[in-house]
């Protein structure tokens, strides 16, 4: 604990020296969340990145999130603790694949989940997060065919919620959420009959059918904290426990284990550590470097997303 406290103090000192803001996703380890200026989901952090007075953004999440922050803050330096903190959704949809699709179907509207590379974002018409995906798709004229990418489960959820028939869905998946099995949720409900189930829409339809609430990471936290219930089964990445326990210490939370690692952790998110965060503030690397052209192109669909409420 002394070592953690010492590194955390180094980070706070470096933050002042660099005039930096530390942004952390809910899926980060609790030690990182404790030193962050802002903890949130993808949409919250994308908006927060626009509204601070400083020079450096240290983004504790995965690489595509840091790219998004750079697009919104082209004159600021954006650094990350670990360049290899990627995302299975990013890796299942390349810019070349999307470019080929657009050439074949130029009249289709491309809605890209924020869990995509900046190059894919630049080829998209509008972006979305799990929090606003339904609103984004509903904002598109009903006569237009929508390509939703890259998450299959989120796309199917949006299709059900919007009732939109002319919607094509990419066949990608989150290695954490997609492997939460329905049978484990059913078992948890049997073991905890008073508990309510909150699930992320990246989960399979079988899991979502058993949920009392479906929503983004931050929406799950808000719902559990504000709900009158005292016991919850959580079907998302276990990093959210830090915020749940901090905001509702009197409540009980049970986490479902997936079949990828028999855990509830994202291996990409957990590549970041306090030591790596300190080092990236010290050396200002790894650093997100994007060309002015890609920033300009990706900013268009990103700002369209931020305008949807």
Its CATH architecture, for the domain 89-175, is 3-Layer(aba) Sandwich (3.40)
Q: Which residue has the tokens 């550590």?
A: 273
Residue-wise burial string across 38-50, b where 16 or more C-beta atoms lie within 10 A, e elsewhere: bbbbbbbbbebbe
**What token pair was written down for 132?**
């606003």
CATH class held by domain 177-255: alpha beta
Residues of the chain with CATH 3.40.50.10800: 2-86+269-288, 89-175, 177-255
Q: What is the structure's pLDDT at 181?
A: 95
- Dihedral angle sign, alpha carbons of residues 62, 63, 65, 70: positive
Which of 9, 8, 57 minimizes the C-alpha distance to 30? 8
How open is the CA angle 290-44-39, to the nearest 5 degrees?
A: 100
Q: What is the structure's pLDDT at 145?
A: 98
Hey, which bits of the chain come out as E strands? 20-25, 38-40, 56-60, 77-79, 109-113, 126-128, 146-149, 167-169, 196-199, 213-214, 231-235, 252-255
* Separation of alpha carbons 149 and 101, rounded Å: 12
How many CA within 13 A on the CB side of residue 278?
15
* Separation of alpha carbons 273 and 140, rounded Å: 40
- Which residues share a beta bridge with 110? 147
How open is the CA angle 238-81-34, to the nearest 5 degrees?
A: 50
Q: What is the structure's pLDDT at 2?
A: 54
First to last CA, the chain: 42
2-86+269-288 folds as: Rossmann fold (3.40.50)
pLDDT tens series, the chain, 309 aa = 557 789 999 999 999 999 999 999 999 999 999 999 999 987 788 678 777 888 999 999 999 999 999 999 999 999 999 999 999 999 999 999 999 999 999 999 999 999 999 999 999 999 999 999 999 999 999 999 999 999 999 999 999 999 999 999 999 999 999 999 999 999 999 999 999 999 999 999 999 999 999 999 999 999 999 999 999 999 999 999 999 999 999 999 999 998 878 889 999 999 999 999 999 999 999 999 999 999 999 999 999 998 886
- Dihedral angle sign, alpha carbons of residues 160, 161, 167, 170: negative
Q: What is the structure's pLDDT at 214?
A: 98
Which of 71, 153, 154, 141 minimizes the C-alpha distance to 109? 141
Per DSSP, the residues of 3-65 read HHHHHHHHHHHHHHHHTEEEEEETTS-HHHHHH-SEEE-HHHHHHHTTS--SSEEEEES-HHH
The DSSP symbol for 202 reads: T
Sheet arrangement for strand 213-214: 213-214, 196-199, 231-235, 252-255
């Amino acid at each position: 604990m002394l070592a953690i406290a010492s590194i955390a103090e180094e980070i706070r000192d470096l933050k002042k020296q660099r005039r930096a803001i530390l942004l952390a996703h809910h899926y980060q380890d609790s030690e990182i969340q404790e030193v962050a200026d802002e903890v949130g989901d993808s949409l919250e952090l994308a908006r927060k990145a626009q509204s601070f007075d400083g020079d450096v953004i240290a983004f504790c999440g995965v690489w595509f999130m840091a790219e998004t922050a750079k697009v919104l803050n082209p004159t600021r330096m954006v650094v990350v603790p670990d360049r290899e903190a990627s995302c299975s959704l990013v890796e299942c949809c390349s810019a070349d694949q999307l470019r080929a699709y657009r050439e074949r179907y130029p009249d289709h509207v491309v809605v890209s989940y924020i869990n995509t590379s900046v190059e894919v974002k630049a080829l998209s018409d509008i972006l979305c997060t799990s929090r606003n995906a339904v609103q984004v798709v509903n904002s598109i004229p009903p006569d237009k065919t929508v390509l939703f990418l890259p998450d299959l489960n989120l796309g199917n959820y949006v299709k059900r919620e919007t009732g939109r028939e002319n919607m094509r869905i990419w066949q990608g998946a989150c290695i954490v959420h997609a492997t939460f099995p329905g049978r484990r949720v059913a078992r948890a409900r049997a073991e905890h009959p008073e508990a309510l189930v909150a699930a992320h829409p990246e989960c399979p339809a079988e899991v979502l059918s058993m949920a009392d609430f479906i929503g983004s990471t931050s929406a799950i936290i808000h719902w559990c904290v504000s709900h009158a219930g005292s016991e919850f089964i959580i079907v998302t990445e276990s990093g959210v426990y830090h915020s749940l326990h901090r905001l509702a210490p009197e409540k009980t939370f049970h986490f479902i284990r997936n079949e990828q690692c028999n855990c509830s952790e994202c291996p990409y998110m957990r590549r970041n550590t306090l030591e790596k965060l300190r080092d990236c503030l010290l050396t200002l690397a790894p650093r997100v470097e994007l060309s002015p052209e890609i920033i300009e192109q990706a900013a268009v669909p990103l700002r369209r997303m931020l305008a949807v409420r």
